[in-house]
Amino acid sequence: MNGFCRLVQHLLLENGITDEDIHIERTLELPGYFRPTKKWDMVVVHKKKLIAALEFKSMAGSFGNNFNNRAEEAIGTGADMRLAIKKGVFGRGARPWIGWLMLLEESEDSMRPAQIKEPHFPALPDFQGKSIAGRFEALLRKLVSEGLFDSSALLMCTRDGGQRGLYTEPVKDLGMGQFLSSLAGHIRKSL
């Protein structure tokens, strides 16, 4: 994930954000609405104004249980941040960019249709017959379409390929190009 973090950092610097404005390893806590603070993976603060907050997450193995945990984390993080913004926690009129980048292990287990237990009601069609990768695709699109995040990206890599920086983008609309373009556009409007 460090490589993706550096890529985003480079984009920020190219668009007028300074190194001092980019927080990666420390001072990553931002206030929430339902909790006192949440530690993000990257925070961008320019002239005391929150410009962006990003999460860089990965998953390898134990896909069934971990998908639900990641989904709950993303939904909770997005809802908490959006309400904090709405309630003026970051100042009146603040509109920071919120992003979620997911790196998923590409394996037989993450690519085959995953089982769904439906003892009382059927799961939504978006999840029927989907692999874990397909579930992440549906989740990430919903996070953006429902306004919890401004952009999201789904990247995949094998265990070996990931160590060498090799990854794939299973769907174009959840790729790095769209993710970085959305962030760059926000930066240009914010400065």
Domain total in the chain: 1
Using DSSP bridges, classify how beta strands 49-59 and 97-105 pair: parallel, antiparallel or unpaired: parallel
Contact 45, 23 (CB under 8 A): yes
Residue 59 CA, distance from chain mean position? 13
pLDDT (tens digit per residue) in 2-44: 889 999 999 999 999 999 999 999 999 999 999 999 999 999 9
Amino acid of residue 165? G
Q: How far is CA 27 from CA 21, 53, 78, 158, 176, in A?
A: 11, 12, 19, 32, 26
Amino acid of residue 187? I
Supply 109's token pair.
Answer: 């287990």
Q: Is the pLDDT of residue 64 over 80?
A: no
Q: Strands of 34-183 (E only): list them.
A: 37-39, 42-46, 49-59, 97-105, 151-157
Contact 44, 23 (CB under 8 A): yes
pLDDT (tens digit per residue) in 109-139: 999 999 999 999 999 999 999 999 999 999 9
Q: Is the pLDDT of residue 75 over 90?
A: yes
The boundaries of the domain holding residue 73 are 2-190
Q: Give the whole-angstrom CA distance, residue 191 versus residue 187.
A: 6
Question: Looking at residue 16, what is its pLDDT?
Answer: 96
Q: Give the whole-angstrom CA distance, residue 186 versus residue 167.
A: 26
Q: What is the mean pLDDT of residues 35-56?
A: 97
Q: Give the whole-angstrom CA distance, residue 157 versus residue 144.
A: 23
3-class secondary-structure state, position 71: helix
Q: In whole numbers, what is the pLDDT of the chain averaged over residues?
A: 95
Contact 101, 54 (CB under 8 A): yes
69: which strand partners?
A: none
Q: What is the pLDDT confidence band of residue 1, given thresholds at 50, 70 and 90?
A: confident
